[in-house]
Homo-oligomer: A and B are copies of this chain.
Amino acid sequence: MLQLTKRVIENTEIQQDICLISISWDKDAKPGQFVMVKCGDDTLLRRPFSIHSISDGELKILYQVKGKGTKFMQGLKKGSSISIIGPLGNGFTIPRDTSKALIVGGGVGIAPLLFLLEKLNHRGIHTLSLLGFKEKPFRVEAFEKFSKTLISTESGTYGEKGTVIEILREINLKGFDIVYGCGPKPMLRSLRELTDKEGIKCQISLEERMGCGIGACLSCVCMIRDKNGWSYKRVCKEGPIFWAKDVMI
């Protein structure tokens, strides 16, 4: 939970505008937590990124180049220093009695799920991973190390044609104790509907524009159902992981 100046160990573009950066790191974290990265002097606010994995003194971030901040990150050379705050947020919950878990990721939304998968695997929980991409899959080998992994692409070039929800519909959800999801909003909505219908627990990772990342500015709220109807919860503090059934998106 500190602010740290860290070194870039490696930074590679694994596919056009999809990059993987490794940063020196010596703290533990929970899967689903995120960090806030200062992206040079030409941007003000830090950018939030899920923790993709932590091991051997390295923190990995899987990121997509979108605007000024991620463009700056793309240009970071090995050995350069970078200011990071984290780990932040609540992280995924793994209920005690979980024995089979389903992982559903879309695009760069697969980022936090690898770290989660490692943890599930470590706990001896059986997993199946469904990953959906636009055109070309990435990081699939990393998922395959820990679980059976099914792929879909919207172009149909690799795996099933369509979104990951298409594969999901063919799966018997009843076979799983819990579903974990991260990806674009429409995907999360379908996930909520499907798991709701089948009565399966489901946790999803949300994104919202952030200011501080530590719960102080109230920039990052989303509507969460509660006993009084709903209230605004902070994605950076009460999230980014929420129970799908409570999320009003």
Contact = CB atoms under 8 A, between A and B. Distances in A.
A226 interface: no
Nearest to A68: B41
Nearest to A40: B42
User: Within the oligomer, what is the number of copies of this chain?
Assistant: 2
Interface string A98-118: 000000000000000000000
A interface majority secondary structure: loop
Interface residues of A, number: 2
A43 B151 CA distance: 45
A218 to B, nearest CB: 29
A159 to B, nearest CB: 40
A31 B41 CA distance: 36
A44 to B, nearest CB: 12
Interface string A14-47: 0000000000000000000000000001100000
Nearest to A41: B42
Contacts of A42: 41-42
Contacts of A41: 42
A185 to B, nearest CB: 31
A81 to B, nearest CB: 15
Interface string A34-63: 000000011000000000000000000000
Interface string A64-101: 00000000000000000000000000000000000000
A242 B106 CA distance: 66
A148 B195 CA distance: 88
A46 to B, nearest CB: 17
Interface of A: 41-42
Q: Which 2 A-B pairs have the closest CB atoms?
A: A42-B42, A41-B42
2 contacts: A41-B42, A42-B42
